[in-house]
Structure 1
């Protein structure tokens, strides 16, 4: 069945509107539409398709639904949460995830492994109150990233993702590593005014996501703290390549600094503004002020979600 031959019972803007799926039909390889519409019909979920960037923000901002699900990847989820945040509706709206994107990192972190799983969870899964990250006034649920992988992500276009999937990010990370000169940063936290200063290859400020040497990437999403990982760069640039490979392969590496803080300030020292990725949304800035909003998002989670994941050693 093609998308042009959907069952007549399926509604695009109909239904009672109490549960809405904001769906990006070109996310991932774009082959999920029939499955999404069949399951939406089965679970009585109204579907609203995005046509361009920003549509998910607008749909979420204007909705009066009790539950809004993001059907796409991390970028679609980011837009849905941003729309609800801007409309001040997060305290009255439950958020759900239906993973149809390329990486679906956040969905995996909250125990949702498939499209069918996403619909089952939004229908009868557990609801948890998770933290929200805010960076320069913009919300994020998974992570804020600076450095090598953020630059590589900004160079990964839709065609590459369609043809290579997650491998597209790997390819561009390795390509970017050859020219990356490191990011001269200062990081300040409330408890330690100068928590870290130096040249970084990679910085991850994790709300839902952490940097594991090995194992699952889920951070503690309910403790009001960011999990911050800094991988230092060497003047020779050799660590950039080493850190990239070790991150991708999951092996151990030195020159890693880990911090936990409810808020922090990241400053780019000299040169051009830094490129930051907020759940895949690119932001250019010299100063990034980040804070947590504890338990600000009511989220549908799967059985594999762990409210208190073990600390990274």
Structure 2
């Protein structure tokens, strides 16, 4: 007699404020249950509730499923890191860059099928001043953009909201000075943006670096050292392909650790949320989180 496979228990964390947070989850939950996964749903209002919920309820679950965008998934990072529970992703945000990096489809039933199939990968986690990130952490343009892009704009305009906010930010942004340190030494820059990437995609589909992966054990830094911010418009195609390092105005460095200092504290945007300021210490945690994803 064949023993039926053991059923798994999932703690499903739902962000009702995500762009697709109001989308009905009943068909998704039914697909998971048919696949042997019993679901307990926990809805939250503030991101800082997510990791404590995971830690508090870890003994009730064999896996965690996060329903939301990149910011919601980032808020779960400390919880899954501390408990070791594998992470399933149902992409319900605006950009869904981590899902794109992992090739998880935005169709929620198809994303649920990936969790049911049970294939898991160990991926890297970036960290800045003790705050985790999956995709990228940025100082300068992207941080200014994060502060100017409201939740209402994301829900109403989607990815177009990023473009509209970016135009406003670029019209008023000014270069800043910073000192960047890595194993290869220290250098001073006058820059519009410093970005440190762990994954592949960020900002709704731009590529951190053409050969970046979320499993290579390295961070990819670039510094955008333009004298005229509007030249950035000519470089957009290169950023979409991860080939921006070919421009003389873009400095790129790969390493496992970076230190960045600025004259005065500047906000740092991690996966869409402002969570800390400079001075900044970046490091990589190789294969720190297990996720459900295609091979």
Bin the TM-score by the shorter chain.
0.7 to 0.9
2:21–2:68 contact (8 Å) kept in structure 1: no
Does 2:50 match 1:56?
yes
Per-residue CA deviation, residues 215-254 of structure 1 (Å, 9 max, x unaligned), is: 99783122211112222121x5444555568647989672
CA contact (8 A) 1:61 1:83 kept: yes
**Structure 1 equivalent of residue 169 of structure 2:** 176
1:197 pairs with 2:191: no
The RMSD of aligned alpha carbons is 2.8
The farther-off stretch of 16-25 and 64-73 is 16-25
TM-score by length of 2: 0.84
Count, aligned residues: 279
Pairing partner for 1:293 from 272, 279, 285: 285
Instruction: Report the equivalent of 1:311.
Output: none
Asked if structure 1 preserves the Cα contact closer than 8 Å seen for 2:197 and 2:208, the reply is: no
**Runs (5+) with no aligned partner, structure 2:** 1-6
Which structure 1 segments of 5+ residues have no match? 1-15, 304-313
Shift in CA distance, 241/201, structure 1 to aligned 2, threshold 3 Å: farther
Higher helix share: 2
- Alpha-carbon deviations, 1:160-199, whole Å to 9, x = none? 0111011111111111001100232221111x121x4212
1:106 and 2:87 aligned: no
Tell which deviates more after alignment, 148-157 or 35-44: 35-44
1:1-313 to 2 correspondences below 5 Å: 18-34=9-25, 35-42=27-34, 43-64=37-58, 65-85=61-81, 88-89=82-83, 92-114=84-106, 115-190=108-183, 192-194=184-186, 196-209=187-200, 219-234=212-227, 236-240=228-232, 242-243=234-235, 247=239, 254=247, 255-268=249-262, 270=263, 272-303=264-295
Which SS does the other structure have where 1:33 is aligned?
A: coil
Report deviation, 1:44. 2.5
